Structure 1
Amino acid sequence: MNTENTPPQDGAEAPKPFMRTIKSFVKRAGRTTVGQAKAFQQLGPRFLLPYQQSLLDFQAAFASPDAAPTQRPVVLEIGFGMGEATAKIAATLADTNFLCCEVHEPGVGALLKRIGENQLTNIRICAHDAVEVIDHMLPLASLDGVHIFFPDPWHKTKHNKRRLIQAPLVAKLAARLKPGGYLHCATDWEPYAQQILEVLSAEPQLRNRALASNPELKGYAPKPHYRPLTKFENRGIRLGHGVWDLVFERV
């Protein structure tokens, strides 16, 4: 879809031209397992949200048949992979709702399976490009947080332009954060961490939480308690690899 020529929804700014070429995902190969397919069938109707070109009603989207509607903080997660960390965070922050975007079908199936296994009720999945979800479904100043964990680093210099964390997307995300809402990125590739720090620091709608509380960390943040160590991260730590967390908030 060409979002450049799509009229903006009420309360949203016009999409920026860069989205014609940059998406929030890269299609990956993978095969859905029997368990994941079963999760799609049994849990998909409740936990999958269809993409729509109109603003999302969070209270309706997260309504539970077993409880009265409630107003809860909402966090957007972009690219959850196989959903391991997402499920653990949702269990830890049980009073927060998580809107999770991922186009990798086995990953979506895996998170649905984890939702069932852990009896989670505070996750909804939109299996669609997060850029279009942001443009058309998310009201301005509506999010309490955004999580982007270990996005593809595109190691080669000639591919750096494909990285997700770039100024136009960050501006869109910042506009959809409530005042005091946060944007939390994490990466295990130091050159990408440096770029993320530069891009987030240049966004006038955001300020770096770590500068005031931990100036000795040079802009990087301690790992927040809610972000678990995945098996891949633990393996990297054993091999001496670093992980960089960046937490900025909406001014």
Structure 2
Amino acid sequence: MGVVSHVRRSVRMTAGQQRVWDTHWPQLGRKLEEMPSGQVDLAEWFGRTAPTVLEIGSGMGDATAQLALADPDVDHLAAEVYPAGLGQLMLWVERYGLDNVRLLHGDALDLLRDHLAPESLAGVRIYFPDPWPKKRHHKRRLITAPFVSLVASRLQPGGTLHLATDWANYADQMLAVCTAEPSLANQYADWAPRPEWRPITKFESRAQADGRVCRDLLFTKSGS
């Protein structure tokens, strides 16, 4: 499909993160490299049938945990390449007693392409992906036409793609790419008002401190 992901994977876990990894990972997490071929059974993994939202790049998991806590009727699947971030998310899961969070260690592109069925997701969230700010690195950005087409194919009719970034030229690229995807419709004329329910991430706080404007995009999968 022409989708390429660029990730960096070296971060050491703290003792607390390692403890919850050893304790909770067998129930909550899966490593992409160890998953059997074919589509994952989300209902079996979560232990129930519910709308599932995929968050790509969950970072240290604080926003993911807050969203899962606020919306217990939705299942939240967090995909992240950094084990420390997943360990930290499991600490939040343990603290809040969350049972609607599952974790994927590995490249979300492979997950989408190889293990998630078409129209299996109620939503996809990508908050503050790596902007690759240097022009010569723009080709490494995640939000491209092939990627958005792949995401759209995994969304249920009425499902949403929610993007957020603090880099103006990346925001423009996101808007153009998503607008060009025929199965997606922008919920607004261009930028979405910042949803009050979206937690402020450390990246957003840093951007605000640096004077950069954060922009949200909300697109909906067409169909009924």
Taking structure 1 as the reference length, the TM-score comes to 0.84
Q: Give 1:230 deviation, angstroms.
A: 2.3
Match of 1:240 among 204, 211, 215: 211
Cα offset for 1:162?
Answer: 0.2
Look up the match of 1:7.
none
1:35 aligns with 2:16: yes
Structure 2 gaps, min length 5: none
| Partner of residue 135 from structure 2, selected from 140, 145, 157 | 157
Distance in 2 separating the partners of 1:203 and 1:26 = 25
For residues 20 and 82 of structure 2, the distance between their equivalents in structure 1, rounded to whole angstroms, comes to: 15
Aligned residues: 219
In structure 1, the partner of 2:192 is: 221
- The structure number with the bigger radius of gyration is 1
Structure 1 consecutive aligned stretches of length 4 or more whose deviation exceeds 6 Å: none
Q: Deviations over 1:204-231 (max 9, x none)?
A: 01010012xxxxxxx0001223211124
Specify the alignment match of 2:41 in structure 1. Answer: 57
Would you say the 8 A contact 1:43–1:112 is kept in 2? Answer: yes
Aligned Cα root-mean-square deviation (Å): 1.3
Question: In the alignment, which of 22, 25, 28 is matched to residue 47 of structure 1?
Answer: 28
TM-score (norm 2): 0.93
The answer to whether the Cα contact below 8 Å between 2:61 and 2:92 also exists between their aligned partners in 1 is yes
Counterparts of 1:115 and 1:210, CA distance in 2: 33
- C-alpha separation between the residues in 2 aligned to 1:235 and 1:128? 26
Gaps of 5+ in 1: 1-15, 64-68, 212-218
Percent identity of equivalent pairs: 42
State the shift of 1:191 in Å: 0.8
Q: Take 1:203 and 1:168, find their aligned partners in 2: how far apart are those partners? A: 9
Q: Distance in 1 between matches of 2:210 and 2:80?
A: 29
Q: Distance in 1 between the 2:77 and 2:209 partners?
A: 32
SS of 2:53's partner is: strand
Secondary structure (helix, strand or coil) at the match of 1:152 reads coil
SS at match of 2:55: strand
| TM-superposition CA deviations, 1:115-161 (whole Å, max 9, x none) | 11111111111101111111111111111000001000000111000
Deviation at 1:29, TM superposition (A): 3.4
Distance of 1:232 and 1:183 partners within structure 2: 20
- 33-42 vs 231-240, which deviates more? 231-240
1:192-248 per-residue CA deviation (whole Å, 9 max, x = no partner) reads: 00000000000001010012xxxxxxx000122321112442343244321000000
2:151 corresponds to which residue?
173
Counterpart contact for 1:93–1:226, Cα < 8 Å? no
SS state at 2:188 partner: helix
* Letter matched to residue 42 of structure 1: T
Distance 2:131 2:158 in 1: 28
Match of 2:70 in 1: 92
Residue 210 of structure 1 aligns to a residue in which SS?
Answer: coil
* Distance (Å, rounded) in 1 between the aligned partners of 2:64 and 2:153: 23
Question: Match for 1:170: what amino acid?
Answer: V
Quote the Cα distance in structure 2 between the aligned partners of 1:96 and 1:161. Answer: 34
- Contact in 1 for aligned 2:9/2:81 (Cα 8 Å): no
Specify the code of the residue in structure 2 equivalent to 1:240.
Answer: G
How far the C-alpha of 1:30 sits from its partner, in A, is 1.9
